[in-house]
Structure 1
Amino acid sequence: MAYEDPENTLVMETTKGPVVIKLRPDLAPNHVARIKELAGEGFYDGIVFHRVIDGFMAQVGCPHGIGTGGSSKPDLKAEFNEEPHVRGTCSMARAQNPDSANSQFFICFEDAPFLNRQYTVWGQVIEGMENVDQIKRGEPVKDPDSIVSMKVASAL
């Protein structure tokens, strides 16, 4: 598969099928660098979608599978931007503290304007959104779907 910018394209294989994400280093350079670093280390491989809310979003990236953890790397400073949260937006999850994003992220099923400028948008699904739509719902999810593998396209 040929990608326009393989260095800034994520290929995520999920239990529901492939999802291709265009990375946006122009919006959030530090968050994109972290996602690429973790993907390159295989951090996301096998991690479950632990919080999936119909009509809202699917969240993933906790190594414990319950939303309480992150990678061993330091938390990131917020890179809030003007990019709106729309269907297919990839944005970082965080705790109350704006500078607490680490490895967890979510993909919006629908437009979520109430998140705008409160969470760091770092990417957009460009292929496979129909697979994201199939991810099993729940909080927590019983028998959740997962990321089988996630790699930067240039590393494939």
Structure 2
Amino acid sequence: MHRRTLILSSTAVCITALAAPLLTGASPGSAQTSSAQSTDPENTIDLDLKQGRVVIRLLPEVAPKTVERIKTLARQGFYDGTPFHRVIEGFMAQGGDPSGTGTGGSKLPDLPLEVSQRHFVRGVCGMARTSAPNSANSQFFIMFAPAPSLDGQYTIWGQVVRGMEYVDAIKRGSGSSGIVNDPDRIVHMRVAADVK
């Protein structure tokens, strides 16, 4: 099995720079981001962690196939209980693999890369994949800091609009691989329109 992950060969030299201030856009939680929060429950994800609820605005205009996949899997309960198996300080938290190994995914076909003009900044949600561009499936990551080297290389499907402090509290992994022993898990991941 192939590991679906961010390819660090091109980003490893940038990891120390990832803790720099945001290059573009407002930080999640700022007034600008708060006013831009999604009012469309069908395109909003409620991601419940043990620390609290993270609200993610989906970007169907940017990545329609990926957004549809995220919503389909969330509606199936696929993500519930899955770990954040790879978490790198100053970079990102990766989850969405039920096996917790980085090699798993859903039974659905892999997705094509959906490239956009958006940038990987703090709070952006992207899809993990193998070295093959069209291999994203269920695994995703949330950025702790900007990573311009990822722009145009991975699909961006969402943006955290509330609860980034809970993402920041996800247990970190060790070493450059960021593999986490006894990782934090997703409690529930739902499309907001389905939450009663």
1:49-64 to structure 2, matched below 5 A, reads 49-64=84-99
Q: TM-score under structure 2 normalisation?
A: 0.78
1:109 aligned partner, one-letter code: F
Q: Percent identity?
A: 59
Q: What is the alpha-carbon distance in structure 1 between the residues aligned to residue 115 and residue 103 of structure 2?
A: 22
Aligned match of 2:140 in 105, 116, 128? 105
Q: Are 2:155 and 1:120 aligned?
A: yes
Q: What is the alpha-carbon distance in structure 2 between the residues aligned to residue 132 and residue 73 of structure 1?
A: 27
Aligned to 1:86: 121
1:16 aligned partner, one-letter code: Q
Tell me the C-alpha RMSD between the 2 structures: 1.1
Secondary structure of the residue aligned to 1:130 is helix
Q: Deviations over 1:1-31 (max 9, x none)?
A: xx61100000000122110000000000000
Q: Are 2:177 and 1:150 aligned?
A: no
Q: TM-score under structure 1 normalisation?
A: 0.97
How many residue pairs get aligned? The number is: 155
Q: Deviations over 1:14-55 (max 9, x none)?
A: 122110000000000000000000000000000000000000
Q: Deviations over 1:71-107 (max 9, x none)?
A: 0000001101111000000000000000000000000
Aligned match of 2:111 in 52, 57, 76? 76
Deviation of 1:60 (Å): 0.3
Q: What is the alpha-carbon distance in structure 2 between the residues aligned to residue 110 and residue 87 of structure 1?
A: 4
- Asked if 2 retains the 8 angstrom alpha-carbon contact of 1:16 and 1:145, the reply is no
Aligned to 1:42: 77
Which protein shows a greater Rg?
A: 2
Instruction: Point out where structure 2 has 5 or more consecutive residues left out of the alignment.
Output: 1-37
Which protein has the bigger strand share?
A: 1
Q: What is the alpha-carbon distance in structure 2 between the residues aligned to residue 152 and residue 75 of structure 1?
A: 21
Q: Are 2:48 and 1:9 aligned?
A: no
Q: What is the alpha-carbon distance in structure 2 between the residues aligned to residue 5 and residue 41 of structure 1?
A: 20
